[in-house]
Structure 1
Amino acid sequence: MRVPYAIADANVVAKRNIIKIKRVPDLLVFTTLSPIMFVLLFAYVFGGAIAIGGESGGAAYREYLIAGIFAQTVVFGATITGAGLAEDVKKGIIDRFRSLPMAPSAVLTGRTLSDVVNNVIVLIVMSLTGLLVGWRIRGSFLEALGGYAILLVFAYAISWVFAWVGMLVPSPEVVNNASFIIIFPITFVANTFVPLESLPSALQTFAEWNPVSTVTQAARELFGNIPPGTPEPTAWPLENPVLYTLIWSVVILAIFIPIANAQYRVSTSR
């Protein structure tokens, strides 16, 4: 009977965090403004200098770009988990949770589940922005759903990494700075904004095995946004982007769910 109770407790915590999104809309506004700026800057400022499928800039690059923006946005969105938990520790909210008859695992599970809802909202806003700049889904409806699903699954896995960071370093400012140092390079040394062929050989090899590249490639394929004339990938991860991304997601969850919950018990026992 403990598992159903833990699930119910996690749902309550998730609902609490979702209500917080409604009551503190500034967080959602600034979460969506950043990727909107990236879309506009890369599409209209840098896009003219980047050739995709033999075509420089234009609609081909904008369609290529959007999946990368999606991937970058949901990965950066995962940092909200760590910052939110660190803020709850700092304000004493976690201590209040400890005094309640609830499953300890519900705090982190509820937090990560609520951030899935945040990512769904952000993806909707990003999709509307993409439509305005000329992006279109060329695949089927089910393939498009698969594209969004693979982005959300990967983001959910990454959110557990930052759940651990948020409990390990209970300071929102430190979590944000540490997140930027880690996430910024892995989202840029990838195929998010430019073709891998344009990278130096060492960085290209890293990017080919970078899971951010594969989640981007998976979304592009499922949305039907691979421009004609684009070279076929030769690295195994990019040849099997959905499988490789799912493997990474499962491995991350298998490692960081127990680690994060163990760190929660250590942090709340001080």
Structure 2
Amino acid sequence: MSTVDLSAGPVRGRFHWAVADCLNVVRRDLTHYRRRPSYIAWQLGFPIISVLLYGYVFGGAMKPPGGEGGGSYLDFLMPGMFVMTMAFGFMNTATTVVSDASKGVIDRFRSMPMAPSAVVAGRGVTDLVVACAELTILVATALVMGWRSNGGFGATVGAFGLLLLLRFSLIWVGVWLGLLLPSPEAAGSLFAVAFPFTMISSIFVPPATMPGWLGTIAAWNPISSTGTAARDLFGYPMPGGTGWIEQHAGLMALLWPLAITAVFLPLAVRRFQNLSR
């Protein structure tokens, strides 16, 4: 007579319904994007405007790091713009989460027979899908402007993997902040934090060109590690990086997002659980 492992059933069942609930949340979030074309235009159009602004308006006056023989400034700029777009994404996450909370959507989810993890996980999957769309549009714009990756196929894929890993880690920062903020209007103030966070980095210029103390802060900025590692993989290494953090940018581009996720993912889950009590 065959036997049935009853002990594995409940665990398998909970996992199945957690995944199903997560996918339902993702479908709901993506449907809202389709019904709000102006929001899509802003979120996906902002990267294009940024690239055109910095690449054409300021690019002609900027010299590439390393002098005239260091390639074009566009080659240096584009990996940084990819990183900046991924970094700014946490504001969209926070705004969406706090908007759902203020409209009672999260309370409605709490009243439904669904896995508690589905709301947080669904938000993360949705934002990762949107991040892929943003990168695709940004890369297409860069190609039209004349940018090309000089790295091989594997290195180029690895660079985009690091960019998405950074975005994945910052999703949980956005979810946690969205569950803390009182209103969508308050989420708008996050730009005051995000702007210097991205400017004091290696996105636009190497930290070696900054005053010593500021260059140190910029070099230890997590998005600088991702930017430097992405430039290396794209075939445009950044000169002048003599500090340990810059010499090990590839390693830190992995460790920084893992550390951010390890801190803020539990905080986001705990915050959501506290709201559910």
Q: Is the 8 A contact 1:72 1:192 kept in 2?
A: yes
Structure 2 equivalent of residue 94 of structure 1: 106
Distance 2:69 2:171 in 1: 36
Q: Give the drift of 1:39.
A: 1.6
**Is structure 2 residue 84 aligned with structure 1 residue 72?**
yes
**Is structure 2 residue 67 aligned with structure 1 residue 54?**
yes
The structure with the larger Rg is: 2
Q: Give the drift of 1:140.
A: 1.0
Pair 40,89 (structure 1): closer, same or farther in 2 beyond 3 Å: same
Provide Cα deviations, 1:60-117, integer angstroms capped at 9, x if missing partner: 1001101111111111112221111111111111111112111111101100110001
Which residue identity does 1:240 align to in structure 2? H
Provide Cα deviations, 1:36-55, integer angstroms capped at 9, x if missing partner: 22222222222233221202
Q: Give the drift of 1:200.
A: 1.2
Among 12, 31, 37, the alignment partner of 1:19 is 31
State the TM-score, normalized to the length of structure 2: 0.90
**1:131-142 alignment runs, 5 A limit:** 131-142=143-154
Distance 1:131 1:10 in 2: 35
Q: Is the 8 A contact 1:76 1:183 kept in 2?
A: yes
Q: Is the 8 A contact 1:217 1:238 kept in 2?
A: yes
Q: Is the 8 A contact 2:18 2:118 kept in 1?
A: yes
Q: Give the drift of 1:232.
A: 4.5
Structure 1 equivalent of residue 97 of structure 2: 85
**1:178-257 alignment runs, 5 A limit:** 179-226=190-237, 231-257=239-265
State the TM-score, normalized to the length of structure 1: 0.92
Provide Cα deviations, 1:232-260, integer angstroms capped at 9, x if missing partner: 42122222222212111111111111111
SS of residue in 2 equivalent to 1:78: helix
Structure 1, unpaired ranges of 5+: none
Structure 2, unpaired ranges of 5+: 1-10
CA RMSD of aligned residues (A): 1.7
Q: Is the 8 A contact 2:83 2:227 kept in 1?
A: yes
SS of residue in 2 equivalent to 1:234: coil
Structure 1 equivalent of residue 273 of structure 2: 265
Q: Give the drift of 1:180.
A: 0.9
Q: Is the 8 A contact 1:85 1:170 kept in 2?
A: no
Structure 2 equivalent of residue 4 of structure 1: 16
Structure 2 equivalent of residue 161 of structure 1: 173
Which residue identity does 2:155 align to in structure 1? E
SS of residue in 1 equivalent to 2:72: helix
**Is structure 2 residue 51 aligned with structure 1 residue 43?**
no
Q: Give the drift of 1:56.
A: 9.0
Q: Give the drift of 1:131.
A: 0.9
What is the count of residue pairs matched by the alignment?
A: 264
SS of residue in 2 equivalent to 1:194: coil
Q: Give the drift of 1:125.
A: 0.5
Identity across matched positions, percent = 39
Which residue identity does 1:118 align to in structure 2? V
